[in-house]
Amino acid sequence: MDTTGTLDEALERLHASGPERLGRLTNHAPMAVEALAARGRARSVHRWLDLYADRLEDFPSRVAPVTEDDWRSALGDPRRAADWIDHFTREITERPWQDVLTQWWPRLLPGIHGGSAHPVIRVGHAVRTLRSGGTTAPRLTELAHGLGYWAARHRPVAPPAPLPGADGAAGALDAVPPIGLREGGFPDRLDRVTALPVWAASVTDPDDAYARLTELVRAATHRYATHGHGDATMLVHAATAPNAVLRTLPALPRALWVPSLRAAWTASAAVTAMYAPDAPAEYVPPGTLTPDEVVDLALAHGDEHVIKLTDTALDVGDGTALAAALRSIEMSVPLE
């Protein structure tokens, strides 16, 4: 983790910006700079931000403070993003961040799909930094921004009808049926996901939930190498969303691990259903590269999704995961 203060400087720079741009596209910068810092590339953070700067918008306008009495009516209202961020900033100033996270995690978890799952991913990056790099003011504020964004974009869905699944995560992802009409944006496609394979539904033990979630992250990352061409950008989230949940589990009470697994599976499987290609494509990576070499290639490419998938691939830590990162580099448009 970055110990130079560069990440804190970058986060302070970003907290003057809103969580979205153009009313619907996510500001990926806080997640990308955290990933770069975590992978030893803090010296490149500000240069990367300079390239990304034209995608940032001003912090949104406030409507009214969110209170303990009326928070339910504000949940899922994107117009209230600034109000929610203010609310969590106050909460984290007054109480330990772990207590705030524990209180709000089960409230927010049913809306994991909101904002194309970017809010939970942002929270996962923030929690990793707090757990491994110290509780500095910018890092606490970053968690408040992530939680506030999640609350504003909270999007619950009806429980999908159960379909036959598989014992392993890879088989369960293979069993996910693509949606019939693959047009429209994330919200429109999400409405068409009405049935998903059953996987890990019988899990009741927190340790088993942790192991299953680890398996899911590995399977979704591996799958990108052969299925990422369905949508090079959106299918990244089939791996990064469950990995954000996995990164957060150690900061949560064990009683929350099983429902977290179930929400992460639904999110990963739904993305798979929405963007799966008609058929897999064999992928042979261009030689054997070390993790550091793959990180350098991702940084040189610059796309925020490439950086985040590479970060998750390093968590998985095997050759197939690195191949998935290389595949994303090949298919994605560089940041220029």
**Segment 139-149, tens digit of pLDDT:** 999 999 999 99
Instruction: Give the H or E element holding residue 90.
Output: helix 81-94
Rounded to 5°, angle at Cα 288 from 287 and 291: 135
Q: How many alpha carbons fall within 13 Å on the CB side of residue 211?
A: 7
Share of the chain above pLDDT 70, in %: 99
Residue 17 DSSP label: B
CA gap 170, 215 in Å, rounded: 8
pLDDT tens digits along 72-112: 999 999 999 999 999 999 999 999 999 999 999 999 999 99
Tell me how far CA of residue 11 lies from CA of 42, 200, 206, 270, 303, in angstroms.
12, 37, 33, 31, 18
Q: What does the pLDDT average to over 225-230?
A: 97
Q: What does the pLDDT average to over 224-246?
A: 98
pLDDT tens digits along 181-224: 888 999 999 999 999 999 988 999 999 999 999 999 999 999 99
Please, which pLDDT band fits residue 2 given cuts at 50, 70 and 90? low
Inter-residue contact 56 to 95 (CB < 8 Å) = no
Q: What does the pLDDT average to over 10-37?
A: 96
Which pTM was predicted?
0.97
CA gap 101, 253 in Å, rounded: 10
Residue 3 DSSP label: -
Which pLDDT score, from 0 to 100, does residue 3 have?
61
Number of H helices, E strands in the chain: 16, 4
- Residue 1 pLDDT > 70, yes or no? no
Which pLDDT score, from 0 to 100, does residue 243 have?
98
All residues at 6 or more sequence positions from 170 whose CB lies less than 8 Å from its CB, including other chains: 219, 222, 223
Instruction: From 218, 217, 200, select the one nearest 209 (Cα to Cα).
Output: 200
> What are 197's strand-pairing partners?
163
pLDDT tens digits along 247-260: 999 999 999 999 99
pLDDT tens digits along 298-311: 999 999 999 999 99
